[in-house]
Amino acid sequence: MAVRDLLLSLRLRGMPLDSQPSSRYSLVMDIDWLRDHCLSLAHTTEQIQWGDALVFKVGGRMYAVASLEPGDTWLSFKCSDENFAELIERSGVVPAPYMARAQWVALETETAFPRAELQRLLADAHGLIFAKLSKKAQSQLASSPKHSSPPRKPRKRAPRRAARKRK
């Protein structure tokens, strides 16, 4: 399901996207702004995973996840080892559920960071993940158009079984 279709389905289920949801954040403002910013970063793709999570990836690897349904957190992203300890000390920032061991943080409110700082942190997350890609994947992305799909990994095929000879 495309992101626009999912946002439309939320509207049809009675959640007006231009009003404040019952959660701690405004779904439309954050998702639209977040999509615009993340998709402006080189080679970023978006995908809906786990039913209601908008995932931003570079080279097929996640660097930010936004919840499309109201919940305890509205955005999670990768950060450096040094920034992780510093960021979780701030109010409104917690270790990301299931991803804290990989130095991901989650924002509980949209006001946890000023927008300019959040843009910088998302760009840093993008850079961290891009740097961890293989050199081959990095060069493929660098030689492709800015917003192309990530390179697909070749499928592993099961080895062919030798045909039995009948006597």
Work out the burial of residue 109: count CB atoms within 10 Å of its CB; fewer than 13 is exposed, 13-18 middle, 19 or more buried.
middle
Mean pLDDT on 121-136: 90
Block residue for tokens 């990768």: 78
Question: Is 91 a domain residue?
Answer: yes
Question: Is 15 a domain residue?
Answer: no
Average pLDDT of the chain is 76
- Please give the pLDDT value at position 109: 79
Instruction: Collapse the DSSP code of 65 into the 3-class scheme (helix H, G, I; strand E, B; otherwise coil) and give the result.
Output: strand
Question: Is 97 a domain residue?
Answer: yes
- Please give the pLDDT value at position 150: 46
CA–CA gap between residue 89 and residue 84 (Å, rounded): 9
Question: Is 8 a domain residue?
Answer: no
Instruction: Kindly report the pTM of this predicted structure.
Output: 0.67
Question: Is 129 a domain residue?
Answer: yes
- CA angle, residues 96, 97, 99, in degrees to nearest 5: 65
**Given pLDDT bands bounded at 50, 70 and 90, which one contains residue 139?**
confident
Domain count, the chain: 1
**Nearest-10 crossing angle of helices 27-40, 115-132:** 50
For residue 60, which of 138, 112, 156 has the smallest C-alpha distance? 138
Question: Is 10 a domain residue?
Answer: no
- By the 8 A CB rule, do 135 and 102 touch? no
Question: Is 100 a domain residue?
Answer: yes
Mean pLDDT on 38-66: 88
- Please give the pLDDT value at position 77: 92
Domain of residue 48 covers: 24-134
pLDDT digits (tens, 9 = 90+) for 7-16: 545 444 444 4
Above pLDDT 90, what percent of the chain? 13
Domain containing residue 58: CATH number: 3.90.1150.30
CA–CA gap between residue 36 and residue 30 (Å, rounded): 10
Question: Is 12 a domain residue?
Answer: no
- Please give the pLDDT value at position 70: 79
Residue 128: count other Cβ atoms within 10 Å of its Cβ.
Answer: 19
For residue 128, which of 56, 60, 78, 65 has the smallest C-alpha distance? 78
